[in-house]
Amino acid sequence: MRGAANSLKYLLLAAALAYPLMPFRDVYVLHVLVLIMVYMVLAMGLNILPGFCGLLDLGFVGFYGIGAYTAGLLTVHYNMSFWLIVPLAVINGALFGVLLGAPTLRLVGDYFAIVTFGFSELVVLFLTNEIWLTRGPLGIPGIAPIALDVTWLATLLGIDERWRYVFRGEMPYYYLAMVMVALVYVVMRRVEDSRLGRAWLAIREDPMAAASCGVNLFAYKVIAFAVSTGIGAMAGAFLARWSQFLSPDMFKFWESFLVLCMVVLGGLGNINGALIGSVILIALGEVLRVVLPKLGLPAETRFLAYGLIMVLIMRFRPNGIFTQVAESTMQSRLIKDLRARLDARRTA
């Protein structure tokens, strides 16, 4: 069974790598696939807080916007390379995460969720009103596309030419997005089975028991917040150079709600589920965007479908639809044993 599953994974990976090179490829499909991969990164980043630590974050889109505007402003004003902007955006997003998390992570439950929601609204208001920096509702147009400059390689080879490749069309962004998803996925899988990931899991299952075992709740929560917000900022930096335009309307609360739906749909704490949830909801959104106007309904009505999905999941499948996938992500024997013991205590 596992061999068949691995074969299917490799087959899907091969198809994903080959599709942009096929003669029947479609530009719109490539655009949607890139968008799906951006939301995959966002879902994996957000999954750290409610999935691993049990913290409900309703303001994740704020850090998404911080990373995007960091990349956009550095590109427009200083013409910085994308490869230098990405780490700066990640650091900036993580820094704002620590600044928000340090005074608020001692809150629990709904209080923490309200604070994060307020932060995201504050970010949108700042982006809208501080025209001197962000151009407000006019947005930031004319952001340069990503470029790969390997002139240094030509110099090493003794060639007096400038080797510079500028990304044009959806294909190069598609492959770069695949690299970004793969990088975040590998990091998350490594963190999941590390001491850090086990500490987060312990905090989610029973904070008092984790504290009694020597886990510093506040420190590990701050680390989780920094890692999560840094990943969200990285996705924002990619979005800025891909779309080449930014507007405050791109970072409203609905984006946080959409990413949270993806995490809940796939199963909290489930890395593979977050990926599948991203594919389902973005694909569903594109279908509804086409179907709803034909039915005489505005395209924004699709958010009602997202809300209905959340209600149904929380009512009938509170652990997510893909529970078997969630179980397969927990590869560590120690984590499996811990979860078995906790389930035994709950049923006793």
CA 180, 183, 189: angle at the middle one, nearest 5? 135
Contact between 339 and 330 under an 8 Å Cβ cutoff? The reply is yes
> pLDDT, tens digit, for every residue of 217-267?
889 999 999 999 999 999 999 999 999 999 999 998 888 888 998 998 888
CA 70, 73, 75: angle at the middle one, nearest 5? 105
**Which residue, 36, 99, 329, 87, is CA-closest to 231?**
87
User: Can you give the pLDDT at residue 156?
Assistant: 74
* CA-based radius of gyration for the chain: 21
> Which residue stretches of the chain have pLDDT < 50?
324-330
User: Can you give the pLDDT at residue 17?
Assistant: 86
Give the Cα separation of 262 and 287 in Å (integer): 16
CA 180, 184, 190: angle at the middle one, nearest 5? 150
On the 0-12 / 13-18 / 19+ scale of CB atoms within 10 A, 264 is buried
Give the Å distances, CA to CA, from 303 to 11, 117, 125, 243, 297: 33, 18, 22, 23, 12
User: Can you give the pLDDT at residue 4?
Assistant: 67
Q: Which residue has the tokens 């509170």?
A: 318
Say whether 25 sits in a helix, a strand or coil: coil
User: Can you give the pLDDT at residue 327?
Assistant: 47
Its pTM stands at: 0.88
**Which residue, 223, 265, 219, 307, is CA-closest to 48?**
223
Q: Facing residues of 166 across strands?
A: 147
CA torsion angle 276 72 302 296 (round to 10): -140
**Which residue, 41, 7, 5, 54, is CA-closest to 236?**
41
H-only helix segments in the chain: 2-18, 27-47, 60-78, 82-104, 110-129, 131-134, 151-156, 171-192, 195-205, 207-212, 217-243, 253-266, 271-294, 302-316, 323-329, 333-347
User: Can you give the pLDDT at residue 1?
Assistant: 53
User: Can you give the pLDDT at residue 64?
Assistant: 95
User: Can you give the pLDDT at residue 334?
Assistant: 54
- List the structure tokens of 236: 């924002």
Give the Cα separation of 44 and 229 in Å (integer): 11
